[in-house]
Structure 1
Amino acid sequence: MEFIAATNNPGKMAEMRRILERMGHTVRSQREAGVTLEPEENGTTFAENARIKARAICEAAGTATIADDSGLCVDALDGAPGVYSARYCGRHGDDEANNDKLLEELAGVPEGKRAARFVSSICVCLPGGRCAVFEGVCPGRVGFVRRGTNGFGYDPLFIPDEVGVPGGGGTAENTQGRSYAELSAAEKDAISHRGRAMERMEAELARFLADGSVIGMTCGNACITVADKAEG
């Protein structure tokens, strides 16, 4: 299937393209599709923001669209930065400043109380207004210093509980305490919030395309899926 990815974030675009192409889909960026629209993300949840982006780009392009809204939720900060992850420092998309602020907010918080989780809501929207949202979660903790050069956003600070095993061998405990940014693409995609959300999407996509339904379910660290009808 061909999608337009509703994002202008190059790091997110690269990750979405990598995962979707591995699943056999084709994905174009907004820029490649000639869509310059920047929807206002004024939702209060990841799912709401994903729907806003997917619907807006789908309506503008008239093509099936996939959008991701994601962020880091830290227990010691009552779930912050959450939906404000990309603009935590007050400016949108300043990764370095966002990481600096996160470290400042957690100054003095010991390792045992730095639990966090990355959350991703993936929304698929079809011309005509039907949308479905698929959610993935990756639990872990926030480190004390940046480590690694892969990834983007909070990846250098986030230490997942598990890592993917090279060669498609499942997952394993992250005994070395490596950050998202120290993992290979395959190691990250196997356990990442975005990878898990897209796995659920892929499992439900044929059913959704056929009759607009998905199976709502919660499965540990995997996902929650929600379908909503076309408005009108």
Structure 2
Amino acid sequence: MTRRFDGDRLLIATHNKGKLEEMAALLEPYGVSVVGAADMDLPEPEETEDTFVGNARIKAHSAARATGLPALSDDSGIAIDALNGAPGVYTADWAETPNGRDFVMAMERTHRELEAINAPSPRTARFCCTLVLAWPDGHDEVYEGVMPGQVVWPMRGEQGHGYDPIFVPDGYDITFGEMDRWEKNRISHRAKATAKFIDANFG
């Protein structure tokens, strides 16, 4: 049976400040205050699944069990058609270094791999977001959003985070990295998934 969130405080199971800020802005009109996993001193659970929904479930349920609060997690990434959907669930892994995540390095790798196979233009891709809302008793609800577009080179723009400077969403001629954050929040894969979450819980 579908369950609705009826509280006013929601744990966002992420250590990513960019994602936390986006979710806080999207949920603010509904009177929901958010707290991040880092604020609760929660560890980052190992993401062992090979799907967005699988990894989102790991994070949401881990946070809900640890805190006794409903927890909303996000697993998202970019899937590039010419690379058979890579990096996909490994989007953040491509940026891992011993000193933290380096998304410039990840975008450079993406470009090298596309050039190595002489991928034709447009290099179609899509940002995918899966949200899982989990309760401490183990119940969860799933909401998914997709933003189609293409990857471009060179990198453009200083806004956003992750792979935003190389992704041009369909219907636009600028990258997410060049886009005003509020415009991106309105159209992004995360916005679409969050809209489903909001419609299901506050509509």
Q: TM-score normalised to the size of structure 2?
A: 0.89
Task: Tell me how far 1:43 sits from its aligned partner.
Answer: 0.9
C-alpha separation in 2, matches of 1:70 and 1:15: 13
1:111 and 2:121 matched: yes
Alpha-carbon deviations, 1:156-215, whole Å to 9, x = none?
000000xxxxxxxxxxx31xx1000111122111210000000001111259xxxxxxxx
Structure 2 gap ranges (5+): 1-7
Partner of 1:219: none
C-alpha separation in 2, matches of 1:106 and 1:75: 10
Partner of 2:167: 158
Q: Which amino acid aligns with 1:42?
A: T
Structure 1 gap ranges (5+): 162-172, 208-232
1:27 and 2:34 matched: yes
C-alpha separation in 2, matches of 1:197 and 1:184: 19
Task: Tell me how far 1:31 sits from its aligned partner.
Answer: 2.5
Task: Tell me how far 1:35 sits from its aligned partner.
Answer: 2.8
Partner of 2:4: none
Out of 174, 181, 192, the position equivalent to 2:177 is 181
Out of 13, 16, 23, the position equivalent to 1:9 is 16
Partner of 1:83: 89
Task: Tell me how far 1:130 sits from its aligned partner.
Answer: 1.0
SS across alignment from 2:79: strand
For the Cα contact (< 8 Å) 1:87–1:94, is it kept in 2? Answer: no
C-alpha separation in 2, matches of 1:11 and 1:205: 23
1:61 and 2:67 matched: yes
Partner of 1:18: 25
Work out the percentage of aligned pairs sharing the same amino acid: 39
Q: TM-score normalised to the size of structure 1?
A: 0.79
Q: Which amino acid aligns with 1:17?
A: A
1:203 and 2:199 matched: yes
C-alpha separation in 2, matches of 1:12 and 1:43: 20
Partner of 1:170: none
C-alpha separation in 2, matches of 1:145 and 1:18: 30
C-alpha separation in 2, matches of 1:31 and 1:109: 39
SS across alignment from 1:52: helix
